Amino acid sequence: MGTLIPPRPSGSVRHADEIRRRLRRTRGQVNGITRTYEQGRLCPDVLDQVAAARAALDGLGQLMLDDHVRGCLEPVVRASREEAKAARPAARDPSVHRGAGGGGRPGGLPCVSGSSRSAVGPPNGSRQL
């Protein structure tokens, strides 16, 4: 099976400092929402702050997703591609046995084409007329 590269801990990311900064800012926004709500301010004022916090979290999520793709997924994909590339010459080697029946298909099953189904029969077990 393929080699898996373990995910990196969340502290070792490209945008770590920016993520921490945004987390602190968002925490402050949420605290501000709480104060505004507890002070009995108008709903539109509270909802404006909620929208701002939501936008900040969306931006934070984008940074984290970018770090995940670049730091966790890309190395796995790269390793998988290298592994597949290394395995290709063995698959092209004519001395490698492909299974009984030949036909050049996976598992060695011959290709059934046209109307001659006598070797295989209809797929649902019924008789053809």
The verdict on pTM exceeding 0.85 is: no
The mean per-residue pLDDT over the stretch 73-85 comes to 85
Cα gap 84→105, rounded to integer Å: 19
The mean per-residue pLDDT over the stretch 34-53 comes to 96
Average pLDDT in the chain: 75
Cα gap 82→49, rounded to integer Å: 48
Q: Which domains does the chain carry?
A: 16-96 (1.20.58.1000), 98-129 (no CATH)
- Bigger pLDDT: 95 or 121? 95
